[in-house]
Amino acid sequence: MTDFTDDELKISPDFAAQFGQPGFRPACQLYLISPPSIDVRFADSLAAALDAGKVAAFQLRLKGIDDHAIAALAEPLQRICAERDVAFIINDSIGLAKRLGADGVHLGQGDGDPRDARAQLGPKVQIGVTCHDSRHLAMEAGEAGADYVAFGAFYPSTTKDARHFADPALLGWWTTVFELPCVAIGGITAENAAPLVAAGADFIAVSSAVWQHPDGPAAGVAAFAEVLGQSRTSA
């Protein structure tokens, strides 16, 4: 694909034909990201969090340890997700996602090509791609077969030292033009999520606002359920 800048954006005809027909979009859902490091006790926290409100996906994002160590921690977490119909996504590693039979893999710009991921993982596995604040990267990811694109950071994050900041208008543009789901990430809390939901985010991806909620992870998930109109009393 020609490397257009965002200022001189062009959409290839194939891509536009594939994704350029906006239709029904389900309501925004919560995509939970693990803390950057965990121990075996984390399984109980995860179960409590997932039982406190609707969670569409859980991403195992452990930094600074190798795939063998991640695999050892993953097994009970993957089971907890499967029992609750929550997609289990592996961050960074196509090989680990394949080894674990994960429901998906999330790839940053330096983590591998979505086409390789598709070839290795098959048609049913969800492939997500970090696109920072770039419409160009997002269209490239769509052309490469991604199942979702992730934009961010929308707010300063204590979990990751974000170098790119995205504006909610990007979500509005994306969802107007493309059907491919988009994820908003970065510093999102129950208190600041509303503009992202209103702008059209299909998912909000959240780590610290849940795991470091003062009343515990279950309270963190319940707070997002309220914002997303899913709380048991708001139905």
Q: Which residues bind ligand 3NM (CB under 6 A)?
A: 33, 130, 152-153, 157-160, 162, 185-188, 206-209
**Shortest Å distance, C-beta 150 to ligand 3NM:** 6
d(CA 127, CA 103): 9
Closest CB to ligand 3NM among residues 35, 145:
35
* Pick from 194, 120, 98, 101: nearest CA to 155: 194
Window of 95-103, 107-115, 196-204, 209-217 that interacts with Mg ion by CB under 5 A: 107-115
Closest CB to ligand 3NM among residues 20, 161:
161
Q: Residues 67, 111, 143, 226: which binds Mg ion (CB under 5 A)?
A: 111
Long-range residue pairs from 9-14, CB within 8 A, at least 24 positions apart, any chain:
9/135, 9/136, 9/139, 11/139, 11/177, 12/139, 12/143, 14/143
**Shortest Å distance, C-beta 203 to ligand LCLJCK34:** 8
DSSP conformational letter for 35? -
Site membership for Mg ion, residue 159 (CB under 5 A): no
Indicate which of Mg ion, ligand LCLJCK34, ligand 3NM, none lies near residue 86 (CB less than 5 to 8 Å, by partner kind). none
Site membership for Mg ion, residue 103 (CB under 5 A): no
Closest CB to ligand 3NM among residues 65, 82:
65
d(CA 154, CA 164): 9
Q: Where are the beta strands (DSSP E) in 38-124?
A: 57-60, 87-91, 104-107
Indicate which of ligand 3NM, ligand LCLJCK34, Mg ion, none lies near residue 188 (CB less than 5 to 8 Å, by partner kind). ligand 3NM
Q: Residues 92, 140, 147, 202: which binds Mg ion (CB under 5 A)?
A: 92
Cis ω before 153 (30° cut-off from 0): yes
d(CA 169, CA 191): 19
In the numeric block, the tokens 């070839």 are attached to 119
Site membership for Mg ion, residue 62 (CB under 5 A): no
**Shortest Å distance, C-beta 197 to ligand LCLJCK34:** 16
**Shortest Å distance, C-beta 35 to ligand 3NM:** 9
* Pick from 101, 204, 80, 131: nearest CA to 89: 101
Q: Maximum Cα–Cα distance for the chain, whole Å?
A: 50
Binding site for Mg ion (CB under 5 A): 92, 108, 111
